[in-house]
Amino acid sequence: MSLGFKQKASMYFWNVLVSVDQFANTLLGGDPDETMSSRMGKAINEGRCKFCKVVCWVLNKIDKDHCNKSIELDEGSRSLSAADRVYTPGDGNVR
């Protein structure tokens, strides 16, 4: 089954949004393959970012539990700040 124009346009728009999100994260020193929502979700779980709580609170109005659902456990190792810490899911600890 082939996709219609609206489905293709929607996929294209979504892909562009994700790429802009990842590019912004890269410009701010994050992993080039991780979204800002994933990075902020991890930071909140680690208790590192008050600003992230505000941004995620706003995003939660649009998509419930957005930042927490967006956490990509397999991404983040190539960020500039990841060299000396490892994120452990669930316990919020950094080792």
88 three-state secondary structure: strand
The Cα 61–Cα 70 span in angstroms is 15
Instruction: Provide the pLDDT for residue 91.
Output: 52
Q: What's this model's pTM, rounded to 2 decimal places?
A: 0.75
For residue 81, name the pLDDT band (cuts at 50, 70, 90): confident
**CA torsion sign, 50 to 55 to 61 to 67?**
negative
Domain boundaries, the chain: 33-86
Tokens coding 17: 């949004």
- Phi first, then psi, for residue 54 (nearest 5°) are -65, -50
pLDDT in tens, 45-70: 999 999 999 999 999 999 999 999 99
For residue 78, name the pLDDT band (cuts at 50, 70, 90): confident
Kindly tell me if the per-residue pLDDT of 84 is higher than 80. Answer: no
Identify whether the C-beta of residue 66 lies closer than 8 Å to the C-beta of residue 37. yes
